Amino acid sequence: MLGNLGKNLTKTMKKLAGMPIIDEEVVKEVVKDIQRALIQSDVNIKLVFKLSKTIEERALKEEPPKGITPREYIITIVYEELVNLVGSKAEEVEVNAKPYRIMFVGLQGSGKTTTIGKLTRYLQKKGFRPAIVSTDTWRPAAYEQLRQLTESMDVPLYGDPENKDALDLAKKGIEQFKKNDIVIIDTAGRHKEEQDLLNEMEQLSAIVNPNEVMLVIDGTIGQQAREQALAFNKATDVGSIVITKLDGSAKGGGALSAVSEIGAPIKFIGTGERIDDFEAFDPERFISRLLGMGDIKTLLEKA
Amino acid sequence: SGMFSFVTKKTISEKDIDDILFELEMSLLESDVAMEVAEKIINSVKEDLVGRKIRRRSDVAEFTRDALKKAISEILGVETKDLKEMADKAQKSGEPLKIMFVGINGTGKTTTIAKVATYFINEGYTPVIAAADTFRAGAIEQITHHADNIGVKIIKHKKGADPAAVAYDAVEHAKAKGKEIVLIDTAGRMQTNVNLMDEMKKIKRVVKPDLIIYVGDSLTGNDAVEQASKFDEAVGVDGIVLTKADADAKGGAALSIGYVINKPILFLGVGQSYEDIMEFKPEWMVDQLV
Ligand SMILES: Nc1nc2c(ncn2[C@@H]2O[C@H](COP(=O)(O)OP(=O)(O)OP(=O)(O)O)[C@@H](O)[C@H]2O)c(=O)[nH]1
Ligand SMILES: Nc1nc2c(ncn2[C@@H]2O[C@H](COP(=O)(O)OP(=O)(O)OP(=O)(O)O)[C@@H](O)[C@H]2O)c(=O)[nH]1
Ligand SMILES: [Mg+2]
Ligand SMILES: [Mg+2]
């Protein structure tokens, strides 16, 4: 049932293939299919309508370049509009300060702590020497989780399960790792209705003074992604985004909506629970998945 | 038909309700009801209404809204289960009530177990917890902390041990000590991961739980349908807990999951503390959605 949308879209696209010119009715039909695909992928409803309006206008107004069929041209437009939102290539973590401080934030259970393990391994492979500070005083065994995640990695870790003051932990951790290349700070999960915790995050940010705040977004989240991301961005300036749990069947459209709202680039995706299930963000693959179209790349290459 | 017939009778046509149905469908989608489910609901409302006679044209919108409320109430209004009754019944038969918690990663299974244990303690029962997530880093320590905080016995093995064996031991412990309830924590897993889904089936085969509770995150979008149906197919879900309802989610996931599994939503998780659990009231959710 769910896979059908992608198929519908492909079907409409095939129908288009035979058409010499793009007429309004056909464009409307294609745009409707694209809307459905995007909504099913959890893209914010308002963003879907905004996007589809632009796509419709462009498809009707612009002249496809020579040798390109209308169908291929519409795909190109859709792709361009989505790339406009997420960027055309993955941005790196640019380590331009010492220590370079990365603070992780996000909703409860989104995957912050696991992702810190993954990013640490990733940065080590690039030759850096990161250290980690645990400031999660809420979740039982948060420190122990980090310790076990990183025990095979030879990475310095600061935390104290007895200390229930997150700000104090942050202060001491930052002090301890002054000489490291990179310091990664784990924080407790929180959401936009927990004002105390958002205040705590703001204070943490003031102490850590992060070079980059990474917002971790669960790939399975729906329409709430936008509001939640806005609240995080208000409390601290979000610098980049990681989308987790893309090894399931969710499409990550919620995360896309967050990106469009706060403008921070998606840098990585999580594709499993293990340390190596971690990839640099690939816009093309992400957009193919969002639209439920198997191989957008070959189509684009033709166009 | 007399000259006043327009006052007394009007037949609802598709055209009359198209706009309002579109509007309602959009609001369902914005509340995170999965598109597949939203469409089914809207279609059933349409079928219900088209051809019906009404008195005044101005009634159409209200009529439609009521029909939608009814459709949603039907999905959420599945007969609920009385956990206390189940525990008493199990005890009379000399067996503990065995409840297993399942779901994808990070939805709140472990926290929910601590809350449900607290609920049972408050009702005068003595639960025991099985630390059968032997996979995730820190999982055993996390649930051990919870168990210690609320004063519940925990049965655990080493990290990496067979989860079915842990659950089995917890049941044996409950039998030996006359405890009424066994709460089994399991590792989070993606519904697409065949090996892990098989491992979960094995735990079920070994312990034969009386109740399998699916723990879903209320912030989930369209994937809720796929997640819930795969877990239900694999082990057969008997009840649902929806967590993180305090995060301002509109609750559409409740409808998606309820629709797919067709089992009652037992509790809502509304925070991170042990008392942050509420019995689910369908009316409350219907009002939230329409
Ligand atoms: N399948 C899958 N699971 C993931 C991924 N990333 C994280 N997880 C799992 O998601 C669950 C939650 O991850 P955590 O790292 O504890 O999340 P968190 O954001 O630190 O949680 P809190 O600290 O409680 O807010 C765990 O079961 C992780 O193993 C991923 O990319 N894929
Ligand atoms: N705000 C809020 N947070 C919750 C709720 N339920 C759980 N959490 C938080 O969500 C995070 C993950 O909860 P866990 O209980 O570890 O989730 P889990 O499903 O056991 O995770 P895995 O075992 O890794 O799959 C923790 O930070 C919890 O405190 C809830 O109802 N409201
Ligand atoms: Mg964490
Ligand atoms: Mg757990």
Nearest CB to B221; choose among A141, A193, A223: A223
User: Which SS3 state, helix, strand or coil, does residue A185 take?
Assistant: strand
Higher-confidence position of B119 and A298: B119
A144 touching B (Cβ < 8 Å): yes
Look at residues A254, A208, A2, A207 and name the one whose alpha carbon lies nearest to residue A107. A254
The tokens describing B138, both together, are 């820190």
Closest chain A residue by Cα to residue B140: A141
Question: How many beta-carbon contacts under 8 Å exist across A and B?
Answer: 149
What pLDDT sits at residue B143?
98
Higher-confidence position of A134 and B91: A134
Residues paired with B274 in a beta bridge? none
What pLDDT sits at residue B1?
41
User: Quick count: other Cβ atoms within 10 Å of Cβ B8?
Assistant: 12
Look at residues B151, B149, B162, B108 and name the one whose alpha carbon lies nearest to residue B126. B151
- SS in 3 state form for A51-79? HHHHHHHHHHHCCCCCCCCHHHHHHHHHH
* Per-residue CA distances from A1 to A132, A204, B96, B178 (Å): 44, 46, 40, 47
- Tell whether the model's pLDDT for residue B153 goes beyond 80: yes
Q: How far apart, in whole angstroms, are the C-alpha atoms of residue B115 and residue B92?
A: 25
State the average pLDDT for chain B. 93
The tokens describing B203, both together, are 């735990």
What pLDDT sits at residue B5?
46
Closest chain B residue by Cα to residue A220: B220
Q: How far apart, in whole angstroms, are the C-alpha atoms of residue A167 and residue B84?
A: 43
- SS in 3 state form for chain B? CCCCHHHHCEECCHHHHHHHHHHHHHHHHHCCCCHHHHHHHHHHHHHHHCCCEECCHHHHHHHHHHHHHHHHHHHHCCCCCCHHHHHHHHHHCCCCEEEEEECCCCCCHHHHHHHHHHHHHHCCCCEEEEEECCCCCCHHHHHHHHHHHHCCEEECCCCCCCHHHHHHHHHHHHHHHCCCEEEEEECCCCCCCHHHHHHHHHHHHHHCCCEEEEEEECCECCHHHHHHHHHHHHHCCCEEEEECHHHCCCCHHHHHHHHHHCCCEEEEECCCCCCCEEECCHHHHHHHHC
Each residue of B206-222: pLDDT tens digit?
Answer: 999 999 999 999 999 99
> Across the interface, do B138 and A45 touch by the CB < 8 Å criterion?
no
State the average pLDDT for chain A. 91
- Tell whether the model's pLDDT for residue A300 goes beyond 70: no
Q: Which helix (H) or strand (E) holds A114?
A: helix A112-125
| pLDDT, average across residues A164-177 | 98
Best residue of B190, B250, B257 to probe chain A, by most A CBs closer than 10 Å: B190
- Tell whether the model's pLDDT for residue B250 goes beyond 90: no
Contact B217, B147 (CB under 8 A): no
- Tell whether the model's pLDDT for residue B2 goes beyond 50: no
What pLDDT sits at residue A11?
66
Contact A109, A141 (CB under 8 A): no
Contacts of A100 by beta carbon, 8 Å cutoff, 6+ apart: A93, A181, A182, A183, A211, A212
What pLDDT sits at residue A231?
97
What pLDDT sits at residue A129?
96
pLDDT > 90 fraction of chain A, expressed in percent and rounded: 75
- Unique residue bearing structure tokens 């009702």: B123
Contacts of B26 in chain A (CB under 8 A): 45
What pLDDT sits at residue A298?
66
Q: Tell me the best of B272, B273, B278 to mutate to test the pocket of ligand 2, counting ligand atoms within 8 Å of each CB and taking the most.
A: B272
Look at residues B189, B184, B230 and name the one whose alpha carbon lies nearest to residue A274. B189
Contacts of B190 in chain A (CB under 8 A): 245, 247-248
The tokens describing B157, both together, are 């093995």
Q: How far apart, in whole angstroms, are the C-alpha atoms of residue B253 and residue B269?
A: 13
Opening angle at CA A297, ends A291 and A298, nearest 5: 120
| Window A:7-66, CB contacts with B under 8 Å | 36, 39-42, 45
Each residue of B57-109: pLDDT tens digit?
Answer: 778 888 888 999 999 999 998 999 999 999 999 888 889 999 999 999 999 99
- Tell whether the model's pLDDT for residue A303 goes beyond 60: no
Contact B183, B117 (CB under 8 A): yes
Q: How far apart, in whole angstroms, are the C-alpha atoms of residue B135 and residue B138?
A: 9
**Does the complex come out with an ipTM higher than 0.85?**
yes
What pLDDT sits at residue A125?
97
Each residue of A145-157: pLDDT tens digit?
Answer: 999 999 999 999 9
Each residue of A196-243: pLDDT tens digit?
Answer: 999 999 999 999 999 999 999 999 999 999 999 999 999 999 999 999
Q: What is the pTM for the complete model shown?
A: 0.95
Q: Which amino acid is at A81?
A: E
Q: Which helix (H) or strand (E) holds A156?
A: none
The tokens describing B202, both together, are 């094995």
> Across the interface, do A223 and B192 touch by the CB < 8 Å criterion?
no
Q: How far apart, in whole angstroms, are the C-alpha atoms of residue B126 and residue A1?
A: 44
- Tell whether the model's pLDDT for residue A10 goes beyond 80: no
